Amino acid sequence: MKPSPTRRQFLVTLGRVLGITALAGVAARVCLGGRADAEFIQPPHRYGWQINPEACTYCGLCETACVRGPSAVKAVNDQKKCSNCVACYGHLCDLKTPSALIATTTKLVCPHGAVQRNHFFGGLDGAYLYSIDADRCTGCAQCAKQCNAHGSKSMFLVIRPDLCLGCNECAIARACPSHAVERVPLYPIDDFRGEYMPEVT
């Protein structure tokens, strides 16, 4: 008659089976890879800082308060809201500048020349596209301040997720007098609210 297994033998066998099962699971995961859509089905776990344009007063502290130099804050122009004017409040200091002299004037709102003006269609008094050169922009908010005070409110500030260091306590949020900087969840499809090209009909 065959003797019954002892408790020790049973635990050894059970441990081997569980170990083999775990190794097989890891091997299958490595060989087969994860699901292609895994990043879209996981709950958001990353957070970033962003500026609420409704609360922002364009005080200019974003330029100097950020721990990065230059600041991770950049101005953008929403082309869907932009009026594409010949003379733009966010671009020119003197809107009475004659159309023929706008391209050569040095009296610009942006001290770094980050607001770019390009002819879109029509003659000299046609439509123009205004965009922000992110490499020149320091987040001083001068263009957005003028656009929101007098223009179509198409220019605003964003904290670029690709430039932000993701500090747990944002220096800009601490310095912001209007509490316009908020911590928001970042999703895999998130970018920054960048430039939009107008649709030509």
- 50 and 149 assigned to the same domain: yes
Dump pLDDT digits (tens) for 60-75. 999 999 999 899 999 9
- 101 and 170 assigned to the same domain: yes
Predicted pLDDT at 77? 94
- 52 and 144 assigned to the same domain: yes
- 118 and 105 assigned to the same domain: yes
Range of the domain at 167: 46-186
Task: Domain count for the chain, please give it.
Answer: 2
Structure tokens belonging to residue 78: 């929403």
- 14 and 100 assigned to the same domain: no
- 80 and 176 assigned to the same domain: yes
Q: Is residue 200 part of a domain?
A: no
Vertex 140 angle, CA 171 and 107, to 5°: 170
Nearest to 51 by CA among 72, 82, 32: 72
Dump pLDDT digits (tens) for 99-146. 888 888 889 999 999 999 998 887 778 889 999 999 999 999 999 999
Q: Is residue 27 part of a domain?
A: yes
Nearest-10 Cα torsion for 8, 10, 16, 17: -160
Sign of the alpha-carbon torsion through 161, 163, 168, 171:
negative
Residue 5 has pLDDT above 80, yes or no: no
HSE-CB at 108 with a 13 A cutoff on CA atoms is 17
User: How confident is the prediction for the chain on average, in pLDDT?
Assistant: 83
* C-beta neighbour count of 110 within 10 angstroms: 21
Q: Burial, 59: exposed, middle or buried (Cβ in 10 Å; 0-12, 13-18, 19+)? A: middle
Please report which confidence band the pLDDT of residue 17 belongs to, taking 50, 70 and 90 as the band edges: confident
Nearest to 46 by CA among 159, 161, 163: 161
Residue 44 has pLDDT above 50, yes or no: no
- 108 and 24 assigned to the same domain: no
**Residue 192 vs residue 153, higher pLDDT:** 153
Q: Is residue 17 part of a domain?
A: yes
| E strand segments, the chain | 46-51, 73-77, 115-121, 127-132, 155-159, 181-186
* C-beta neighbour count of 160 within 10 angstroms: 21
